[in-house]
Each structure stands twice: as C-alpha cells, then as structure tokens.
C-alpha cells in the first residue's frame, strides 16, 4: 500500500507533481477552502504525512487523530504558529517550514503597503472609482513623504532585513530592534539597533517582522501605540496577533498613529469592523507571499520536505531536531 499522504488544500502544480511522482496515491482536499475542524480530524486519520497550510491548526488533537503512523507535518509557510511544535516533538513527529523562498515577495508587499498607506492609494482610488474626481486640487489627498524619513524594523530576520535593504533606494534612516545585533545591516545601511520603545518613538514607518510566540503576541498594544508619532504609520505583514487590533482601532481614532497597513489579522479571515470602517487603514487578505513563482517554490519546498521525511532522510527545513532524534519508525 502506498504511504498515506494528505494535502489539506490544492497547492501550486509543481509541488503536486513532485508528490505525485513520489506518492502517486496521495489524498487531497480538492476544494479551495479551509477544512472544518471535524473534517480535518477525519481526513488526517491514518496519514503518515500531512502537507498543511498556515490556516490549518495542527495541535495535539489532530496529531492524535492521525494516529501512530504520522511521521511528518510539512507546513507550506515560513511561519509555523499554527502547529503545536512541542506536541509534535513529544510524539516524534517532524515539522518543517518553507523559509527563504518568500523573503523577497513578502518584503515587496511590506513596501507596497508602506506606499499605499503613505500616499493614500486605495482611498484615492475608491474616490476616483466613485466618480468623485472632478479636478486636480492643491489639497487633494495629501499624504506623507517617504524619502528621507525613518523606517523602523521590528524583528530583523530574513524578511525584516530585506525590507530594511529596500530603504536604501529612498535614502531612509533605518532603525531596527532585534534580539541580536545585525552588524551587516549596520555596515551596509548605517542601520541602528534600538529598543522597541525608542524605535516606536522615532520611526515614521514601523514594520513588523516577528514570529508569533507567546512573548510577541500583542507586542503592539495600547502602550506601544501611544509611543508612536502622530504622523507615523504601522505596517504588519507578519502575523495578526502581534497587534492588539482593538487597541489599534482606538489609537487610530485618537489620531496616533496616523495610519496602518495590514496584511494579517488577529482572527483571520475576520477583520475588526473598526478597521474596516477607517479610510486611513489599508487592508489586504494575507497575500505577503502571493506571487506565482514564490508560491510555486513554497509548494515544491514543502513537498521536498515531506518526501525526504517519509524516505527516512532528515528534511532540509526541519524545525524540531528532537523529533528527528526520536523519530517514529517507518510503517
């Protein structure tokens, strides 16, 4: 019998082709929608490998529903806060992600959002489409300057650093806060490492690039928002719960910060109605890595991790070394 592989949703063809070659009998939820919890629990039963998406909550219950054959969960995302890594490690189940291949696409989107909120692009487009553009106006849609301003990077990992590097073209001053110094950013860009407080006080654009952990949840809360300049904008392409959305709605209403551009939300796909109601907020539906070639590379990477894990090889993007050490025997 072919090893049971379950894919939770259609992914780009190059990933599916790899899977088809290695595991021709793989199963897939062929509808383009997130499986209901009960369906997920049912579908994973007996699987040796699951190719999951960031929208699938893979916790102890799902791992146990899969049963004793499950050896690997390959997430098609760089973030893996949807997976209970500890529960997987405790059961000897390997977990992998797709780092690196989506760095540029996500950094590009952070900049697209920065421009969009600074220059009020979605708002002015709505105005035009509504037939309200009657003449050029000296006061029409005045926005914020970008060139020469200060960019604050919260979390200078791969994506945060790529966002920082793009600031070179706009003569921006770059501040960053990160657990460890990034000497290359300092020499390349003259970037300066600061505390989060100092960054929030000084930056004109604050861009979030932290993984979501219990420590980073709501790192941008009412207190943090109150430190921002009244003219500053917040950009989030990381994970929604980094920001306390209710606090952000209140802060925007109070005029500090001036705007926000968000690709991720606390309770996706729900968006706080207070954000939907505001013109000074730009909203996109979690499309950071959504380019054709990036998603294809992510799918291939996830498939390669899964195939390697099932072959008994150490998957290239293994997140839990403990699981490799005490990995489950092949069926």
Q: Which residues contribute to the site for ligand GLV (CB under 6 A)?
A: 54, 77-79, 102, 288-289
Pairing verdict, β 5-7 and 49-52: parallel
Minimum distance from CB of 77 to ligand GLV (Å)? 3
Catalytic residue among 198, 268, 322, 328: 268
Catalytic residue among 120, 182, 193, 239: 239
Residue 188 tokens read as 């390349």
Minimum distance from CB of 234 to ligand GLV (Å)? 18
How much helix, strand and coil, in percent to the nearest 5, is found in the chain?
40, 15, 45
Q: Which of 177, 173, 117, 119 is nearest to 150 (CA)?
A: 173
- Residue 107 or residue 174: which is nearer to ligand GLV going by CB? 107
Alpha-carbon gap, residue 105 to 294, rounded angstroms: 7
Measured over the CA atoms of residue 228, residue 229, residue 230 and residue 236, the dihedral's sign is negative
Q: Which of 228, 247, 237, 235 is nearest to 280 (CA)?
A: 235
Peptide linkage before 317 cis (omega within 30 of 0) = no
Alpha-carbon gap, residue 264 to 241, rounded angstroms: 8
Pairing verdict, β 27-28 and 233-236: unpaired
Active site residue 239: yes
Active site residue 45: no
| Cβ atoms < 10 Å from Cβ of 308 | 20
CB 249 within 8 A of CB 256: no
Minimum distance from CB of 8 to ligand GLV (Å)? 15
154 bridge partner residues: 177, 208
Minimum distance from CB of 78 to ligand GLV (Å)? 4
Phi, psi for 174 (deg, rounded to 5)? -115, 125
Active site residue 268: yes
Minimum distance from CB of 257 to ligand GLV (Å)? 23
Alpha-carbon gap, residue 137 to 205, rounded angstroms: 26
Q: Residues 6 or more apart from 223 whose CB is under 8 A from it?
A: none
Catalytic residue among 286, 295, 297, 304: 286
Residue 54 tokens read as 């960031």
174 bridge partner residues: 151
Minimum distance from CB of 54 to ligand GLV (Å)? 5
Residues that are catalytic: 239, 268, 286
């Amino acid at each position: 019998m072919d090893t049971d592989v379950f894919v939770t949703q259609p992914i780009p063809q190059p990933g599916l082709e790899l899977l088809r070659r290695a595991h021709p009998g793989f199963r897939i939820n062929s509808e383009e929608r997130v499986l209901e919890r009960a369906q997920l629990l049912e579908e994973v039963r007996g699987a040796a490998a699951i190719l999951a998406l960031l929208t699938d909550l893979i916790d102890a219950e799902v791992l146990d529903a899969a049963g004793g054959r499950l050896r690997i969960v390959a997430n098609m995302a760089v973030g893996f806060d949807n997976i209970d890594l500890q529960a997987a490690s405790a059961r000897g189940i390997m977990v992998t992600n797709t780092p690196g291949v989506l760095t540029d696409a996500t950094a590009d989107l952070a900049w697209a959002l920065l421009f969009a909120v600074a220059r009020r692009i979605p708002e002015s487009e709505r105005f035009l489409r509504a037939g309200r553009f009657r003449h050029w106006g000296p006061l029409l849609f005045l926005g914020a300057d970008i060139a020469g301003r200060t960019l604050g990077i919260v979390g200078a990992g791969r994506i945060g650093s790529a966002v920082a590097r793009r600031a070179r073209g706009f003569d921006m001053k770059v501040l960053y806060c990160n657990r460890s110094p990034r000497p290359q950013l300092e020499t390349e860009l003259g970037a300066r490492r600061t505390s989060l407080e100092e960054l929030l006080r000084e930056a004109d654009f604050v861009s979030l690039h932290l993984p979501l952990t219990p420590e980073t949840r709501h790192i941008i809360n009412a207190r943090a928002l109150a430190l921002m300049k009244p003219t500053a904008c917040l950009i989030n392409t990381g994970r929604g719960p980094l920001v306390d959305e209710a606090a952000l709605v209140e802060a925007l209403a109070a005029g500090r910060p001036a705007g926000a551009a968000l690709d991720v939300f606390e309770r996706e796909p729900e968006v706080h109605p207070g954000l939907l109601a505001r013109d000074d907020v730009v909203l996109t539906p979690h499309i950071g890595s959504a380019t054709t070639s990036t998603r294809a590379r992510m799918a291939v990477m996830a498939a390669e991790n899964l195939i390697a894990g099932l072959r008994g090889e150490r998957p290239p993007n293994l997140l839990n070394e403990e699981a490799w050490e005490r990995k489950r025997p092949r069926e």
